[in-house]
Structures are given as C-alpha cells and as structure tokens.
Amino acid sequence: KKEEIFLKNLDRLNDKGIIISWDKPNSFNIGTINEKTETEILDVFLNNYNYTYDEKNSKIFRDSCNNDVLKKCIYIFEKKKR
C-alpha cells in the first residue's frame, strides 16, 4: 500500500520522467525494505504506469557511478506522451 502511494505521488508530480534507485534482493544493505528484481521494477513502471525504460541512459548513469551499490540499481524511466 505504501509503495503504491509513493509511486502514484512520483507519477503525479512529474511530467518528464523518473530517475530512481531500487535495491535488489539479497544485497544486504542496512535499512532497505521492499527490494525488487530488475524484472519486477520494469514490470511496475512499464505495465502499471505510463513510462518507457531508458536503458541507454540508465547504463550511462550506472557506469559513471562511484557507489558500487547504486551502480547496480539506478533506473531511468521516461514518461510517455499522452
């Protein structure tokens, strides 16, 4: 329920897209909850909301990130034009 509210707020408050990091399962980061696999994250944004996955720029962000944890879980989604 909280995840749904959070995502609806992100969606409502932007008109271009979202850059988000979402922790992956079994990454053992202290304080993280609600980890998701990449497939689950893509499913949420592509099927439940009006976004496309910007794989190219997500890779650029990941490759340039100095934090080993973040570089594995940065996603860029572009809002589809209506």
Residue 72 has pLDDT above 90, yes or no: no
CA gap 44, 51 in Å, rounded? 10
Band of residue 33 on the pLDDT scale cut at 50, 70, 90 = confident
The pTM of the full predicted model, rounded to 2 decimals, is: 0.86
Q: How many domains does the chain have?
A: 1
Tokens of 75: 């996603």
Average pLDDT over residues 5-23: 93
Task: Catalogue the E-assigned strands of the chain.
Answer: 17-21, 51-53, 74-79
The predicted-structure confidence for 46-71, as pLDDT tens digits, reads as follows: 999 999 999 999 999 999 999 888 88
Q: Give me the domain span that covers residue 57.
A: 2-79
